[in-house]
Structure 1
Amino acid sequence: MKNKFTLFVCFISLMLKAQTSELLVLDINGELTYVEDEKGNRIPDYSYVGYHHSEKAIPNVPVRKTISPTAGDNLNHIQNAIDELEALPSDSDGFRGALLLKAGVYKVNGILKIKKSGIVIRGEGKSTILIATQKVQSNFIVFEGVANPEKIKSSRKKITDSYVPVGVQSVIVEKSHNFKEGDAVMIERKPNQAWIKMLGMDNLSQTDPDDKNWTPEKYTVTYRRKVLKVIESKIIFDAPIVDLIDSTYAEGFIYKYSWNGKIEEVGIENIQLDSYYASEEDENHAWNAVSFKNVENGWATKVYANYFTYSCINIERSSMKITVDTCEMRNHKGVVWGGRMYSFNILGEQNLIKNCIGEKGRHDYVTGAVVAGPNVFFKSKSIKAQSISGPHHRWASGLLFDNIEIEGNNLGVENRRNSGSGHGWAGTTCMFWNCTAEEILIQDPPGDHTNWAIGCVGKHVNKGCCGPIEPYGYIESKNTNVKPESLFEKQLNERLNLNLKYTIP
């Protein structure tokens, strides 16, 4: 999906007066029209992210238990209150209730764990301060189900399309299937060695013998979706394809999954979380303020974190549909080095980070290795950033950075080649929309994979800190913002207001 269709795009642009980018045309009703390349690839709808895909507001869950701080260690005091709520039955909306922590300082020597659905931890703003006093590397507050999703292997069917383009929301499968509306499914993209070679990831060990070359098994990615409709062999699902499946380089499969070990409808809000530390570079203390593991449909709002080594919010690989809104990570304590200071870190899928602030982080808005999309970072700021934000490690797909401001550093997607343990290509189908940074590092992977920078302000470059010069990704309206102001908000509003549930190619 390169510049092969430039002439076609220019023709469309001349025909339609109201436009935003050349790839997203506003029609006479002000609605988005997606311009496809000759293979059907297009900018995907990134809006299927966050708590209930942003289709529901964060609820105001009734308080069922209230506590105040006690002298000394409050670990058991708070955990016992959580356990008391977990013993209650869920209401019709799936909630057990909120635990209100009244204003004051709570010293907590250990990890607080929420293991059942329907629990909310709530403070009274920055007047409620929880201090993690443990002197070992650990999490602080963890929302945690008991098990990862499980594939139903007997339901696995091959996708028979020879080419599944980015942006579509349907695939054709073998006729002997039993998929139905409402099924939770995984779409599996299984690459081959030819794909590894095309990306140039088959020879990392030649430039650094300590690095391992990519293998198809390590880069087989599954994307969780919900079946919306079945028309014979066509399976239509909610969130779009965010990494193309070309039969020359990859096979595609779809199968059902179960997830009995998850928890749902959980959140933390209106609270300050601090960590003990002995010195600026001390790392024997709490690393993550809040972690979500095996959670679907959760949230963190107005969480103000200080002094943690790693993150304010860490969304583990098994979690999805988490909204993080109006949170802050300031004053990291630890060595300014790799594997530290990832203020808002996503490993899961269909998550939304918005209206947040990261201060002096290394990677304030970041994803890890082989992250399935979509995921969105929206209207957030990095202050005095100490390194780049963007997809990190290896091959994250389907990321939108929308109105992200990086003060003092860069925003980028690149071939990181031998950085770290051999990161290689950091991502594909990554969109930088109306973002601002000192440098916008935008590289395109080989083949039909594409990254975009549209309406971004900053020096646009195709050489980063760690890897080679690569071809530029798609760049448009350099140093001039485009309309709509927010791609995420526009896509979400159209999906909700127009009831655009799926696209049938």
Structure 2
Amino acid sequence: MTDHIAFTVMTPEQMSKNPAQAVYLDDKGMLRYVPDYRGNTIPDFSNAGYMGGGVKLPEVQVKVTVEPGEGDDTARIQAAIDQVSKLNADQVGLRGAVLLKAGVYRIAGSIKISSSGVVLRGEGQGEDGTVLIATGTSKRALVQVAGSSGAKQQASDSPRTITDAYMPVGARSFHVQSVQGLKEGDTVLVRKISNKDFISFIKMDRITPRPDKPSETKMWEPFNLDFDRVITKIEGNEITVDAPLTDAIDTHWGGGTVIKSSDAGRIEKVGIENLRGDTKYNPNVKKTGKGKPYLADENHASHFITLNNVKNSWVKDITAVHFAIYAVSIGKGAKWNTVQDSRNLDMISVLTGGLRYPFNVEGELNLVQRVYSETARHAFVLGSQVKGPNVFLQDVSVQNHATSEPHHRWSVGGLFDNVSAPIAVQDRQHYGTGHGWAGANYVLWNTSGQVIAQKPPTASTWVIGHVGTRSKGAFEPRDPAFFASFGKHVEPRSLYLKQLEDRLGLKALEAMGSYTFHDVLDDSAQDIMSGDDGSDS
């Protein structure tokens, strides 16, 4: 096993031009990364999004058209989706689109897409466009996109031990005991093991019990993070994969392994476009918060769109109104998906744990860009043990009741890039059922609003170019995050887009439609409010 010490030498001129220091532009305008003494760097996030980033979303031909009808429209829409699902896919895996003409559609159940290559498209996300209204009182997702499973290890293969003593954050190459049976193009799970000693070192086996419900506070147990990757090169016993790992693999805490995998259970090339989702609710159910009554019914559709066990898919130009939990949720088995140019408005639920998470990410290598949210608790949020990279880019949230954040239990490798919202990366200790260190190796780049940022043990948090207020964490003292250029934005304006340009060129930015910031940035976005007492889950 090998270990190493890393360092970077910068000239005074380079340091004066690059206040961020953790990453800087060289004389040719390319990003350069400054490692810490163990070699950890800010990761390259540019592989996040549809088809691995930098690829234009496809325009898919309409194969079936549906008009608004009388009564419940669920069966008619589902029949159209099922009809397209039976068509042969073209050379890029697309079958066709179901077009829902403008008007109101009443949905008593859920619309389900479980085949690859199917697009559900409306004629506008406004009130005069295509409006799907969830009727009834059942809590459910209005539109469900789902394969049967995410990536799984191949039962016929055996794990290979990673022989590097330490594989740093941001690395894409590592050594294994044997590459027998592996080849370029194979999909693999790169496992980071977190053993009992690791849990003890970061003190997550000694979480202070929740005062009101001490028995509900759960201490952490050993866990693994399985990074879903593709082998791009093999030289001797060294393997290079397509995207960096966003948590260090350390033999001291259990080391790591590599095993061949399959994602045959995933569906792909599914699109949801140009729709408005709404839900019926009981306007007579109210609660009082901060001295003011608010609508609090929860017996209605809780989610607009969910993506589970799906890759290389997209949601664009949608508006979600009145839902209790998600506008769009990207589940744990989801990879290489994009959500963009969408809105979440006027959420209806009690202001408490598990509710109002409109743009939620549980998978890896996903991109949420140019979206807008109102009345959320955790507007842009990542769940437990999420494996990055994942990116929130050019997003805005107002009328917040809590912070955007990695929410609990060691989510790794997220980027908040030009996000206007209250953001927290911190030790949440007994919040929920023992959330503890919620995020590790997160980057906040040119963000704005209130920020809480702490450095977890064995990992980093980078806050660069933040403009706004800096607040203490819910539990102090904790080591502070790395802050640079606080109060002034830095160049490049977007880390993700510059990383994408460095990797694929300007054509990738054109494909993303990301030359300028979205028009949702307005005066109200500067009035960021945060009122969470931290007692939620």
Please classify the TM superposition score into its range, dividing by the shorter chain length.
over 0.9
Does structure 2 conserve the Cα–Cα contact (< 8 Å) formed by 1:13 and 1:19?
A: no
TM-score scaled by length of structure 2: 0.88
Q: Deviations over 1:5-24 (max 9, x none)?
A: 99x76844544664362111
Partner secondary structure for residue 366 of structure 1 = strand
Does structure 1 conserve the Cα–Cα contact (< 8 Å) formed by 2:359 and 2:380?
A: yes
Equivalent position of 2:220 in the other structure:
214
Equivalent position of 2:77 in the other structure:
78
- Once structures 1 and 2 are overlaid, which stretch shifts more, 20-29 or 51-60? 20-29
Equivalent position of 2:161 in the other structure:
158
Task: Tell me, yes or no, if structure 1 residue 260 matches structure 2 residue 260.
Answer: no
Q: Which of 474, 485, 504 is matched with 1:477 structurally? A: 485
Does structure 2 conserve the Cα–Cα contact (< 8 Å) formed by 1:74 and 1:106?
A: yes
Does structure 2 conserve the Cα–Cα contact (< 8 Å) formed by 1:205 and 1:212?
A: no
Equivalent position of 1:142 in the other structure:
144
Task: Tell me, yes or no, if structure 1 residue 68 matches structure 2 residue 67.
Answer: yes
Q: Which of 308, 311, 335 is matched with 1:296 structurally? A: 311
Q: CA deviation at 1:149?
A: 2.3
What amino acid is aligned across from residue 445 of structure 1 in structure 2? P
Task: Tell me, yes or no, if structure 1 residue 330 matches structure 2 residue 332.
Answer: no
Equivalent position of 1:503 in the other structure:
none
Question: What CA distance in whole angstroms lies between the structure 2 residues aligned with 1:151 and 1:17?
Answer: 48
Task: Tell me, yes or no, if structure 1 residue 235 matches structure 2 residue 245.
Answer: no
Partner secondary structure for residue 56 of structure 1 = coil
Task: Tell me, yes or no, if structure 1 residue 190 matches structure 2 residue 171.
Answer: no
Equivalent position of 2:227 in the other structure:
223
Question: What CA distance in whole angstroms lies between the structure 1 residues aligned with 2:15 and 2:413?
Answer: 28
Equivalent position of 1:345 in the other structure:
360
Q: CA deviation at 1:469?
A: 2.5
Task: Tell me, yes or no, if structure 1 residue 459 matches structure 2 residue 461.
Answer: no
Does structure 2 conserve the Cα–Cα contact (< 8 Å) formed by 1:18 and 1:27?
A: no
What amino acid is aligned across from residue 433 of structure 2 in structure 1? S
Question: What CA distance in whole angstroms lies between the structure 1 residues aligned with 2:270 and 2:44?
Answer: 26
What amino acid is aligned across from residue 94 of structure 2 in structure 1? F
Q: How many residue pairs were aligned? A: 486
Q: CA deviation at 1:497?
A: 2.1
Instruction: Quickly say closer, same or farther: Cα 1:150–1:385, change in 2 above 3 A.
Output: same
Question: What CA distance in whole angstroms lies between the structure 2 residues aligned with 1:206 and 1:120?
Answer: 47
Does structure 1 conserve the Cα–Cα contact (< 8 Å) formed by 2:19 and 2:484?
A: no
Equivalent position of 1:93 in the other structure:
92
Question: What CA distance in whole angstroms lies between the structure 2 residues aligned with 1:141 and 1:252?
Answer: 38
Q: CA deviation at 1:220?
A: 1.0
Does structure 2 conserve the Cα–Cα contact (< 8 Å) formed by 1:9 and 1:22?
A: no
Instruction: Quickly say closer, same or farther: Cα 1:357–1:385, change in 2 above 3 A.
Output: same
What amino acid is aligned across from residue 96 of structure 1 in structure 2? R
Question: What CA distance in whole angstroms lies between the structure 2 residues aligned with 1:498 and 1:36?
Answer: 27
Name segments (4+ residues, structure 1) moved above 3 Å.
8-18, 205-209
Question: What CA distance in whole angstroms lies between the structure 1 residues aligned with 2:16 and 2:29?
Answer: 11
Question: What CA distance in whole angstroms lies between the structure 2 residues aligned with 1:43 and 1:201?
Answer: 25
Does structure 2 conserve the Cα–Cα contact (< 8 Å) formed by 1:19 and 1:27?
A: no
Q: CA deviation at 1:114?
A: 0.4
Q: Deviations over 1:1-58 (max 9, x none)?
A: xxxx99x768445446643621112111111111112211111101110101113100
Partner secondary structure for residue 216 of structure 2 = coil
Instruction: Quickly say closer, same or farther: Cα 1:176–1:265, change in 2 above 3 A.
Output: closer
Question: What CA distance in whole angstroms lies between the structure 2 residues aligned with 1:32 and 1:428?
Answer: 22
Partner secondary structure for residue 365 of structure 2 = coil
Does structure 1 conserve the Cα–Cα contact (< 8 Å) formed by 2:19 and 2:485?
A: no
Question: What CA distance in whole angstroms lies between the structure 2 residues aligned with 1:376 and 1:459?
Answer: 22
Equivalent position of 1:490 in the other structure:
498
Question: What CA distance in whole angstroms lies between the structure 2 residues aligned with 1:14 and 1:309?
Answer: 52
What amino acid is aligned across from residue 31 of structure 2 in structure 1? L
Structure 2: unaligned runs, 5 residues or longer: 284-294, 509-537
Task: Tell me, yes or no, if structure 1 residue 319 matches structure 2 residue 334.
Answer: yes
Equivalent position of 2:385 in the other structure:
370
- Once structures 1 and 2 are overlaid, which stretch shifts more, 93-102 or 47-56? 47-56
Equivalent position of 1:167 in the other structure:
170
Question: What CA distance in whole angstroms lies between the structure 1 residues aligned with 2:271 and 2:12?
Answer: 45
Q: Which of 446, 465, 468 is matched with 2:457 structurally? A: 446
Question: What CA distance in whole angstroms lies between the structure 2 residues aligned with 1:372 and 1:210?
Answer: 26
TM-score scaled by length of structure 1: 0.93
What amino acid is aligned across from residue 162 of structure 1 in structure 2? A
Question: What CA distance in whole angstroms lies between the structure 1 residues aligned with 2:154 and 2:507?
Answer: 31
